[in-house]
Structure 1
């Protein structure tokens, strides 16, 4: 055979091999749910060489497979599908080697199988390693972008157009009505990953993974969620509460081995970009107010603390009110605290003495006696509608100022 004929024969054989490998690649891609055949690279050629000659892949060739693993991660192809692509390609290629299937020499077949399996093992391991590296980099990058986005959303003073574009990859529609919930652990957690993972699991399961963000800020866990996606939970007042999101969060966080007891504060729902910042400020202020009140309530609804926000904004006025309406109660036997507790329970139960007595674990006679003492010492009647408002505001103020455990601010303490 002349040299030209040999070259023509080699070219024909090479063309036939390329066509066979291309067909195998397409079939493997279909097996893996349409994973791009480009992610196979030269993998099929490595398998064919191993089957026919026993050649082991070189380091550079395996490094190229690792690059393909990184590319698969960047394209959003799952690990399972890209591995299925490689395994299916190996299986289908083996079926296209009739010289091995019809061989009567078992040692030849065994050697070929060993060489092919070595390539599969090395390539899939390198592929997974490259995929894992890329995924970790993507996660770190996404976490950085998420943290920066959350910071800007909660600050509320960033460029609206830029925020809309940055929020879109996270599935956040800034035109919707959102609310913000903050979860505070008993002490700062050394690692918040477990808490974030737990929250993401339950939040995404109940609310969906679009339009919801879970992150951390200043040692607190932050959840931004659309208000209309929160499962309704009507409270004792017969209305849907902004705290429903908080109860969902607290139930999950309470299962964690660290961080408890958790305290969750939920801001009111507000529309638009600036509504997120407003809801966050309400939740943060609710946490701070609860701390000032020494309240151990696990879930705090910001709307329930609005009265304290009003009172604390004018501290001299509330100090004056407590001084005028409640300091005379210090002259009662046992001091002012039992009388304050009675007023608090009485107002909380709508002025029902029997229910107040049950809450205080005292007799109804004790409650009525204390109400009489309050009237006599302060000059305000808890059963008079005009006096009741003054006394209730004063009780709220005393709680906010932690009086009588702490002296009133200013010279009139």
Structure 2
């Protein structure tokens, strides 16, 4: 509410020359004016259509009666109150009305339209009563100015109430939602989570997908995601930073499977994010744990492309127990232990490629950028060292797992060591 509007209303009330007889005539007409105003509002304003019954109808009638009563106190001027401050209770009521609209999830559009319709109808009826009471043209013009300055002031007060309610409820909702996210990570029981969701005004989804990303990127991402995304915070257990040296945050995104997940990955492109799998909302911690392990295993690239944990399932399985992987690798590569490091590494690389390509020599040669005869020679060396074990399915499985794990550990900065020292 601006000081200009307030002063215009006060000046209009002070300048209005309306005697007791006219005020009494207006007061006698007040019930009819209220009835017609309410009827017009509920017919002409879409947000209030058909609202004469029920609690909304009662609220409209109360608001109209309050506004008209306040106006008559204003019009009566110094005879009934201090003309400089006649509107305190009425403005407080308008402010509360705006807050109520916000709490009901409605914008100010309907209420402002109701003020406009109400002003038109009230002016028409009160002007008629004033004319019948013999009010002159000059006073009638002042009367009209006062009506519309008054409506402007009520509207401004309601807008302030609406804005304040949204601001307050928004902060409260954010706190409740962060608390909900903490309960989800803690694996709280259904009753606790349901109550937390209700307090936060959060519609329960089918699934939640965890997204880890630098805290500085959160604001830009939230603008592209649904309003029910939950931001948990920056102090999260059990995860390494997505980008070492800067804090990171967790988002829990509702119901993003299939096309929704593809959209999510596009939104996160360039933001150094790691995306967990979709999980039933009660098991959101599972998605977070997967994203955290993926972040440690396959950190985001310098270009910031989003890391999809679904693309690293084999790496996650192999890297689940680093000590077991190191022991397996030492046992599998024991036949190579006495070779020089460079030779051992070349033969291990060739063996891995040979098994993965199922012995297709040309494909192995292409992958290793060597001649096919080189592959043949190296495999001859390996068969001499391993003997019949290379024909044993169990040995083949262990070699593939061990050597795949070596590549994974190397990419993630792992420390698995082989029988001759470093991998």
TM-score normalized by the length of structure 1: 0.69
The structure 2 residue matched to 1:95, chosen from 75, 100, 124, is: 124
Instruction: Specify the SS of the correspondent of 2:224.
Output: helix
55-64 or 212-221: bigger deviation: 55-64
Instruction: Specify the SS of the correspondent of 2:298.
Output: helix
2:34 and 2:65 in contact (8 A); partners too: no
Instruction: Please report the RMSD computed on the Cα atoms of aligned residues, expressed in angstroms.
Output: 4.6
Give the aligned partner of residue 63 of structure 1.
92
2:325 and 2:405 in contact (8 A); partners too: yes
Give the aligned partner of residue 42 of structure 1.
66
1:149 and 1:166 in contact (8 A); partners too: yes
Give the aligned partner of residue 184 of structure 1.
213
1:73 and 1:135 in contact (8 A); partners too: yes
Change (3 A) 1:405 1:49: closer
Could you tell me how far apart the structure 2 residues matched to 1:95 and 1:378 are?
Answer: 105
Give the aligned partner of residue 190 of structure 2.
160
Q: Which 5+ residue runs of structure 2 have no aligned equivalent?
A: 1-19, 49-55, 235-247
1:108-147 equivalent positions in 2, closer than 5 A: 108-147=139-178
Instruction: Specify the SS of the correspondent of 2:31.
Output: helix
1:1-400 equivalent positions in 2, closer than 5 A: 14-30=27-43, 31-34=45-48, 36-37=59-60, 38-40=62-64, 42-47=66-71, 58=86, 60=88, 61-99=90-128, 107-156=138-187, 158-168=188-198, 169-172=201-204, 176=206, 178-185=207-214, 188-189=215-216, 192-200=218-226, 213-218=229-234, 219-226=248-255, 230-232=256-258, 245=261, 247-254=262-269, 260-267=270-277, 269-270=279-280, 273=282, 275-291=283-299, 298-302=306-310, 304-305=312-313, 308-309=316-317, 311-313=319-321, 315-325=322-332, 328=336, 331=340, 336=345, 340=349, 362=369, 365=372, 368=375, 372=379, 375=382, 379=386, 386-400=394-408
| Deviations, residues 298-355 of structure 1 (Å, cap 9, x unaligned) | 2323584255345432x33311233344584984759838964x77777777776666
Change (3 A) 1:101 1:182: farther
Change (3 A) 1:361 1:382: same
Could you tell me how far apart the structure 1 residues matched to 2:272 and 2:177 are?
Answer: 24
| Deviations, residues 266-318 of structure 1 (Å, cap 9, x unaligned) | 23534x73x333333233323233239999762323584255345432x3331
Corresponding residue pairs, total: 366
395-404 or 344-353: bigger deviation: 344-353
Give the aligned partner of residue 206 of structure 1.
none
